[in-house]
Amino acid sequence: MTHLSVVVPIFNEEENIYDLYLSITEALRGRIEHYEIVLVNDGSRDRSAVLLNEIAQMDQAVKVIHFEKNYGQTAAIWAGIKNSQGELIALMDAALQTDPRNIFRLMPFIKKRDFVNGKWADHKDTWFKKVSSGFAKKIRNWIIGGSIYDIGCPMKLFKREVADSFYLYNGMHRFLPTVAKMNGFSVIEVTVTHQARKHGNSKYGEINRGGMGFMDAILIGWLKKRVILYRIKR
């Protein structure tokens, strides 16, 4: 059985795709015996599809999913999760701002928790992005209640049972740790390293992470107050 599935959403990342593949395989080789890499092409309009198909032909551990058009990051992540087979699922970004070697920084914690969320300790962003991100986090915490986990870091590791509990709507990829807790699973946050993007710019824009993230937080806060959890007495 596949032990680990690494799921990556991809949108117009032709400059990063081979580096992405090589970095994941180098990180996993010799440490995970049975793994798969699930690369989801979110309707890319560059040469991403061609490069992904070339990699899949070279390596049987690589599974490629092509969307007909750009459906968004949540759809790409969910399609990757649903088409994966691993007992454990790791999420990361295509631009390698998350280092796949950090999967093994999260791995020890999965023995006692169901969901391990990465948290960037040294974010290599502009001061404006850092300040705006900090302010947005305070607003989201106030809306949802309690302390929300780092929603900007794509690095996550969780069990198959957690994945099977998800039913996602657009924008909810930002709140997977919160959704996991709402579904009755245990969550922990672990520090991981942040790497500067080597090629290109972010394809999932700032507006996506700003205004829509605020509206999504309102929805999550509403759902959190109405979540139903129960245990059957045995």
| Whole-number pLDDT of residue 174 | 86
Residue 13, pLDDT > 60, answer: yes
| Superfamily of structural domain 4-224 | Spore Coat Polysaccharide Biosynthesis Protein SpsA; Chain A (3.90.550.10)
Tens-digit pLDDT profile for residues 58-80: 999 999 999 999 999 999 999 99
pTM of the model: 0.83
What is the SS3 assignment for 26? helix
Output DSSP code: residue 19.
H
Q: Are 19 and 3 in contact (CB under 8 A)?
A: no
Which one has a higher pLDDT value, 106 or 205? Answer: 106
Overall average pLDDT of the 18-37 stretch: 96
Q: Are 64 and 44 in contact (CB under 8 A)?
A: no
Distance, in Å, from the CA atom of 51 to the CA atom of 133, rounded to the nearest integer, reads: 33
Q: Are 75 and 142 in contact (CB under 8 A)?
A: no
Least confident segment among 6-10, 20-24, 91-95, 181-185: 181-185
Element (H, E) at 41: strand 35-41
Which one has a higher pLDDT value, 114 or 216? Answer: 114
Tens-digit pLDDT profile for residues 98-141: 999 999 999 999 999 999 999 987 655 555 455 455 545 555 55
Q: Where are the domains of the chain?
A: 4-224
Tens-digit pLDDT profile for residues 159-177: 999 999 998 888 889 889 9
Distance, in Å, from the CA atom of 27 to the CA atom of 224, rounded to the nearest integer, reads: 36
CA-based nearest residue to 67, from 94, 41, 39, 37: 41
| Burial class, 60, CB count within 10 angstroms (exposed 0-12 / middle 13-18 / buried 19+) | exposed
Distance, in Å, from the CA atom of 135 to the CA atom of 55, rounded to the nearest integer, reads: 41
Q: Where residue 7 falls among pLDDT bands split at 50, 70, 90?
A: very high
Within 8 A by CB and 6+ apart from 48, the residues are 10, 11, 12, 13, 14, 17, 41
Distance, in Å, from the CA atom of 106 to the CA atom of 129, rounded to the nearest integer, reads: 26
Overall average pLDDT of the 80-95 stretch: 97
| Strand partners of residue 116 | 157, 188
The mean of the pLDDT values for the chain is 84
Distance, in Å, from the CA atom of 147 to the CA atom of 230, rounded to the nearest integer, reads: 24
